[in-house]
């Protein structure tokens, strides 16, 4: 069973698989959609996505559990978040039930690419939608394509989970009342220069502040942020311009219901950074990536949990959520969808 791949050494990158899913929106309706072995996208040179960046995407994973099942994690929430993105970008919504079914179908069609349990690798699932018809005046496209590709990816952390160093950014990732709370491709385009600049200067990520006052912590270019207080509470930033992470939402529930940790979602002033015991980023790819040091211009803030390993609270949180995903911990009702 499965492809003969070097699972433990897979990169976190794209590898073409057997099938993708594609559906087209035309004349006010979605077609039936189909699995396809054609991995090329053909659109007009004047397509809305090329002219005015009309696109959004999602990211989730399929796993092989300890007992051999193939499962995916909360795809219904990805469908709901994509609906929010589409509504904001004046794109047609791909119905939630069809979205979830398409995820299941495309994973089934590529079942041999789901890595074995314990390899550290997973099958990454990327649903996305874009304006496909020609648009020259500034307006929404008339036709759209919804696609799902899957690709096996290696562990996000090679050689274990090591704390990273991030910097406080002078640039913004989102505007007040803008598109920071949806998963629009344009949000990521505008953060690319800043992340490359951070990498060139030795930082793993940028920590963005609120765009209005530059005093409150928001998120990084691709992940939400978690803090742990010295008395063991979990704190997450609250803002209308933060993308609502499905991983963060799940970790918050795990913290409350499994680990009986007190959770606060509130505004966090940057002056508070020195007071936290642990800090980390959370998202689909890494689940939790610990932060060991935050650099605010000429000031270094060393997180007490250090640069050697993840802190005890975030470590337990990460272990519990990955256990739920991999089938070694009992999942809350409706979180895990069994595909095969």
What digits encode the pLDDT tens for the residues 217-231?
999 999 999 999 999
Q: Please report the pLDDT score of residue 1 as a whole number.
A: 57
Q: Please report the pLDDT score of residue 249 as a whole number.
A: 98
Q: Please report the pLDDT score of residue 156 as a whole number.
A: 76
Q: Please report the pLDDT score of residue 159 as a whole number.
A: 67
CB 254 within 8 A of CB 127: no
Mean pLDDT, the chain, whole residue set:
96
What digits encode the pLDDT tens for the residues 229-266?
999 999 999 999 999 999 999 999 999 999 999 999 99
Q: Please report the pLDDT score of residue 161 as a whole number.
A: 86
Q: Please report the pLDDT score of residue 2 as a whole number.
A: 75
Describe the crossing of helices 312-326 and 246-257 by its angle, rounded to 10 degrees: 110
What digits encode the pLDDT tens for the residues 8-48?
899 999 999 999 999 999 999 999 999 999 999 999 999 99
Q: Please determine, for residue 292, whether its predicted confidence score (pLDDT) is greater than 90.
A: yes
CB 253 within 8 A of CB 332: yes
The predicted model scores a pTM of: 0.96
103/327 Cα distance (integer angstroms): 19
What digits encode the pLDDT tens for the residues 166-215?
999 999 999 999 999 999 999 999 999 999 999 999 999 999 999 999 99
Q: Please determine, for residue 3, whether its predicted confidence score (pLDDT) is greater than 90.
A: no
Beta strands 70-73 and 336-338 are antiparallel
Residue count of the chain = 340
CB 115 within 8 A of CB 152: yes
Q: If we measure between CA atoms, which residue out of 151, 163, 235, 242 comes closest to residue 205?
A: 163
What digits encode the pLDDT tens for the residues 115-165?
999 999 999 999 999 999 999 999 999 999 999 999 999 987 666 789 999
Q: Please report the pLDDT score of residue 10 as a whole number.
A: 93
Q: If we measure between CA atoms, which residue out of 32, 160, 145 comes closest to residue 98?
A: 32
């Amino acid at each position: 069973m499965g492809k003969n791949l070097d699972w433990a050494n897979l990169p976190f990158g794209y590898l073409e698989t057997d099938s993708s899913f594609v559906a087209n929106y035309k004349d006010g309706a979605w077609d039936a959609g189909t699995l396809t072995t054609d991995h090329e996208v053909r659109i007009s040179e004047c397509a809305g996505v090329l002219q005015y960046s009309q696109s959004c995407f999602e990211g989730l994973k399929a796993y092989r559990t300890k007992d051999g099942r193939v499962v995916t994690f909360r795809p219904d929430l990805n469908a709901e978040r994509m609906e929010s993105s589409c509504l904001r970008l004046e794109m047609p919504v791909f119905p939630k039930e069809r979205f979830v079914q398409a995820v299941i179908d495309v994973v089934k069609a590529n079942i041999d690419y789901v890595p074995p349990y314990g390899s550290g690798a997973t099958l990454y699932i990327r649903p996305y939608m874009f304006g496909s018809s020609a648009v020259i005046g500034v307006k929404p496209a008339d036709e759209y394509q919804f696609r799902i590709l899957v690709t096996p990816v290696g562990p996000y952390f090679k050689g274990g989970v090591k704390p990273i160093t991030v910097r406080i950014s002078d640039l913004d990732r989102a505007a007040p009342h803008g598109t920071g709370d949806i998963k629009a491709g344009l949000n990521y385009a505008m953060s690319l220069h800043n992340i490359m600049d951070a990498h060139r200067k030795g930082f793993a990520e940028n920590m963005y502040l609120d765009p209005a006052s530059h005093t409150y912590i928001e998120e990084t270019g691709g992940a939400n942020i978690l803090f742990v207080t010295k008395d063991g509470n979990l704190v997450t930033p609250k803002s209308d311009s933060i993308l609502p992470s499905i991983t963060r939402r799940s970790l918050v529930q795990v913290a409350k219901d499994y680990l009986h940790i007190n959770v606060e979602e509130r505004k966090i002033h940057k002056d508070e950074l020195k007071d936290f015991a642990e800090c980390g980023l959370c998202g689909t790819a890494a689940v939790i990536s610990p932060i060991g040091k935050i650099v605010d211009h000429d000031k270094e803030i060393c997180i007490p949990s250090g640069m050697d390993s993840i802190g005890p609270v975030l470590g337990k949180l990460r272990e519990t959520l990955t256990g739920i995903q991999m089938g070694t911990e009992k999942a809350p009702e409706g979180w895990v969808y069994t595909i095969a």
